[in-house]
Each structure stands twice: as structure tokens, then as C-alpha cells.
Amino acid sequence: MTGAIGKEKASLSMKTSGCTNVTTGRGLNFLSGKAYLIGVSIAKERRGQGLGTLLMQTSLQALQQENIAEVELSVTPENKGAIKVYAGKLGFVAKDTKIDEYGPVENRLVMMLSLDNLT
């Protein structure tokens, strides 16, 4: 699943995994169960305007409609702005810290969100 707002000023990529393959009429191919957020990017000049939150909320609602129950992501622990959005605005909770995940001193904070109670 990918999404965009404006002229590629924001983007999001996810993959899903699970047991049952579900293909929707919109051409999205989901595996039921869990979605992994691969990346979110907001153009530097557009940050702080709520685009990331809007993109994530819209994507999470779409995943919920596809019967995805849980979303997982990882973020660098130094990215306080992203963590503030994920935890404070969207309800993600810290699950684990992976040390040297992407190489020496490339730690990742793993966060999870259950879509069961998403409004």
C-alpha cells in the first residue's frame, strides 16, 4: 500500500503478512493479519503541517477496512517528532529496541498498534 498527498510531498509504504491472501477490488493485494510500515516521508518544507498524521490516519483506516489487525513499524530512537506522532497522536506503543539493526549504532525502536479499537 502506498499513499501520497500533494505532489509527492508525503509518501508511505507498507507490506502485510499473514495466512490468508486477500485481493481487493482496488487492486491492493493484502495478506491478512499484520501490516509492516516500511517508510513514511514528508518533504522538509511540509513538516509540522499535519500531513504525516493525516497520511497515517487514512492509511490505518484503510488497513482496518481490509481486516488488518495489527501494524508494526520501526523508527530511529532519535526521531522524536515521528515518535511523538506515532505514540501521542496515533496510539502506537513501544514493543522492543533493536540494537545495531541496520549496522553499527543504527538502533531501531519497534512500535505496534492494534487496529481493533481504531475509531
Look up the CATH number of the domain holding residue 56.
Answer: 3.40.630.30
CA angle 25, 28, 29 (to 5 degrees): 110
Cβ neighbours for 72, distance < 8 A, ≥ 6 positions apart: 34, 35, 36, 37, 95, 110, 111, 112, 113
108: confidence class by pLDDT, cuts 50, 70, 90: very high
pTM above 0.75, yes or no: no
pLDDT recorded at residue 6: 46
> Does residue 83 fall inside a structural domain?
yes
Answer whether residue 103 is part of any domain: yes
Only one residue has cell 496515533, namely 90
Q: Does 17 map to a domain?
A: yes
- What tens digit of pLDDT does each residue of 6-51 get? 444 555 555 544 433 443 333 344 555 788 888 788 888 888 888 8
Predicted pLDDT of residue 31: 53
Tell me what the pLDDT averaged over the chain comes to.
77
Total domain count, the chain: 1
Mean pLDDT throughout 48-75? 88
**Can you tell me the mean pLDDT for 99-105?**
86
Is 119 part of a structural domain of the chain? no
10 in any annotated domain:
yes
Determine the structural domain holding residue 25 and report its residue range: 2-114
**pLDDT for position 12:** 53
Q: Is residue 95 part of a domain?
A: yes
Domain membership of residue 97 (yes or no) is yes
